[in-house]
Amino acid sequence: MQGNFKYYNPTKLYFGEESLKYLKDELMNLGERVLLNYGSGSVKRNGIYDEVIAILREGGKTLIENPGVMSNPTLEKLREGVRIARDNKADWILALGGGSVCDYSKGVAASVFFDGDYWQEFWLDGQNPAKEQKILPVGCILTMAGTGSEMNGGCVITDAEKNFKTGHVFDSRLMPRFSILNPRYTMTVPVDQMKAGIYDIMNHIFEQYFSDYDDNTTDYIAEGLMRSLIVSSRAAVKNPQNYEARSNIMWTATWALNTLLKCGKSEDWMVHMIGHSLGAWTHAPHGYCLAACSMAYYRRAMEQGRAKFARFAHNVWDIPVEGKSERELAEAGLEALKEWMLEIGLPLTITEIGATSQMIDGIVSTSEIFPAGYLDLRPDDIKEILKESL
């Protein structure tokens, strides 16, 4: 392994069908006034909300409710949440919902006690709160697998007025204090959301795996997670109520983005950067935006990272090495990826998610460009990737 790294993750996880019962244990260590963030109402329809409220009330907590957190949380909604937390003197935050609610809650937690323009400071300038700044503790009760937000410091927010979506990975102080993961809860989301979450998980692994050239233990872990996700995704699409499949998907999502897979890696997050911009323009599910531009991107990345793509073909898809050149093996791996995406019902073009050729210049203009594993992209390169993805 090359490079140097540190690894630390303070989040406590409770996993399984009985995991919610541990919420009462966590309440003993948290303040009285809790800001409860949740989405548009699905948690009320499926009964999870009532279960959580009962535990909070039994624990003597004062509830401050903030419903309506959308799947791509907006800057306007972030400001509303900060205002609610300040006005009601919230002691801590509980996120009830999918990864977007978890992301959003971390954003609110970081911003409540910041005296200034937190959007500029944290998201546009990429800074973390000062060491002396107070930060509200966050707990998560997850209802959808995909983002890994339950065990990381990431927070993605959209400036809807400018069609600009960006994320910031906060330091370990913003990682959730605890997260409750009951795979049964993920069965309450629509199948399309499940599929989008599955590809979000896979792409999180790709963004860390398809970088560097050394023999890295982390890559072996990544390959195991990919193999598990492929098996479980097929089972879950066939039967969305398959607990074994849904529990494996949920656990894979956590390990795909809890900082483990980036150890010793240079990483490449450009599919996410393009996907964020696609999402801001089309409002399509995040995982679908990633899927729609992935094939064009990874065909290009393969030219510089051919050995890794050949390894991916053999170790993940079991494609035999014999009789194939390195390039043929790498191409066969990408073809296997494409067939799997089609099999589970993912979009392969940006047209399928609502993007048009007229949008491309705008999407390029709001796509952030970061150093990538095998590619050194410029705006014209992103434009070509998007055209190839139509």
- What pLDDT does residue 312 have? 98
Kindly indicate the confidence band of residue 318, based on its pLDDT and cuts at 50, 70 and 90: very high
DSSP H or E stretch at residue 85: helix 75-87
The answer for residues whose C-beta is within 8 angstroms of residue 52's C-beta and 6 or more apart is 20, 23, 36, 43, 94, 96, 141
Q: What is the pLDDT of residues 103-162, one digit of tens each?
A: 999 999 999 999 999 999 999 999 999 999 999 999 999 999 999 999 999 999 999 999
- What pLDDT does residue 46 have? 87
- What pLDDT does residue 214 have? 92
Expressed in angstroms, the distance from the first to the final Cα of the chain is 38
Q: What is the pLDDT of residues 335-361, one digit of tens each?
A: 999 999 999 999 999 999 999 999 999
24-44 average pLDDT score? 94
172-185 average pLDDT score? 97
- What pLDDT does residue 33 have? 98
The answer for residues whose C-beta is within 8 angstroms of residue 322's C-beta and 6 or more apart is none
Which residue type does 166 have? Answer: T
Q: How many CB atoms lie under 10 A from the CB of residue 216?
A: 18
- What pLDDT does residue 54 have? 97
Helix (H, G, I), strand (E, B) or coil at 241: coil
Residue corresponding to tokens 């990682």? 175
Helix (H, G, I), strand (E, B) or coil at 314: helix
Q: What is the pLDDT of residues 265-297, one digit of tens each?
A: 999 999 999 999 999 999 999 999 999 999 999
The answer for residues whose C-beta is within 8 angstroms of residue 6's C-beta and 6 or more apart is none
What's the distance, CA 150 to chain centroid? Answer: 9
**Using CA atoms, how far apart are residues 199 and 231, in angstroms rounded to an integer?**
13
Binning the chain into helix, strand and coil, the percentages to the nearest 5 are 55, 10, 35
- What pLDDT does residue 4 have? 87
What share of the chain in percent tops pLDDT 90?
95
Structure tokens at 304: 């510089």
- What pLDDT does residue 129 have? 97
- What pLDDT does residue 268 have? 95
Structure tokens at 111: 């911003």
DSSP H or E stretch at residue 103: helix 99-111
Dmax over Cα atoms in the chain, in whole Å?
A: 68
| pLDDT reading at 225 higher than 90 | yes
Residue corresponding to tokens 């927010």? 157
Helix (H, G, I), strand (E, B) or coil at 372: coil
- What pLDDT does residue 311 have? 98
Q: What is the mean pLDDT of the chain?
A: 96
15-30 average pLDDT score? 97
CB contact at 8 A, 219 and 174: no
- What pLDDT does residue 359 have? 97
65-85 average pLDDT score? 97
Helical spans, DSSP H, in the chain: 23-27, 42-45, 48-58, 75-87, 99-111, 118, 183-186, 191-209, 217-238, 243-256, 270-282, 286-302, 306-317, 326-344, 360-365, 379-388
Kindly indicate the confidence band of residue 42, based on its pLDDT and cuts at 50, 70 and 90: confident
232-255 average pLDDT score? 98
- What pLDDT does residue 178 have? 98
Could you write out the three-class secondary structure of 175-237? CCCEEEECHHHHCCCCHHHHHHHHHHHHHHHHHHHCCCCCCCHHHHHHHHHHHHHHHHHHHHH
12-31 average pLDDT score? 97
CB contact at 8 A, 381 and 375: yes
CB contact at 8 A, 217 and 1: yes
Structure tokens at 228: 């598990």
- What pLDDT does residue 41 have? 80
| pLDDT reading at 40 higher than 90 | no
Q: Angle of helix 326-344 relative to helix 217-238, nearest 10 degrees? A: 30
